[in-house]
Amino acid sequence: MDKPKFVYVTYIRSTREKVFQALTDGDATRAYWFGYRIESDWTVGGPLRFYNPEGQLVHDDRLLAYDPPATLSYAWKPLQKGFEGETESRVTFTLEQAGDQVKLTMVHDEMMPGGKMLGAVSGGWPAVLSSLKSLLETGTALERQIPRHE
């Protein structure tokens, strides 16, 4: 296994159940993920999709691990223009209780060497995770837009 390329950690004053729900619920992701909706029937090996704020399918992913409220992992395959030649990478969320907070670790790895995904994800995830934290702790998501790749 190659070394993970990106590791992000945030502490959220919440429960693992609530954080896990926010990661897997389409209405919740729309609120903090800048309008993007996740959708899956949560069968491991089955499809997992992302729709942009206009309702277009922008990700055709595969669910790799689903173990609520501890682990969520999916193959990451954007359909947007410019990513046609990219092989799928992998996103893994790990949730641990740390006192009254949840330690949420997000690893994005198995990216194609020299691919565009390396540069594309480095700016986006901290914004998504900060917005998730804000939504769960204060009830309000952040308004920042993530870079669009249309």
Enumerate binding residues for another protein (CB under 8 A): 1, 3-11, 105, 107, 126-127, 129-130, 133-134, 142-144
Which CB, 5 or 77, lies closer to another protein?
5
Give the residue with the Cβ less far from another protein, 1 or 54.
1
> What are the Cα distances from residue 76, in Å, to 47, 84, 112, 120, 144?
11, 13, 11, 12, 22
CB of 78 to another protein, least distance (A): 21
**Shortest reach from residue 49's CB to another protein, in Å:** 26
* Closest CB to another protein among residues 29, 51: 29
Instruction: State the nearest-atom distance from the C-beta of 12 to another protein, in Å.
Output: 11
Residue 110 in tokens: 């198995």
* E strand spans, 37-145: 37-40, 47-51, 57-67, 71-76, 89-98, 101-109
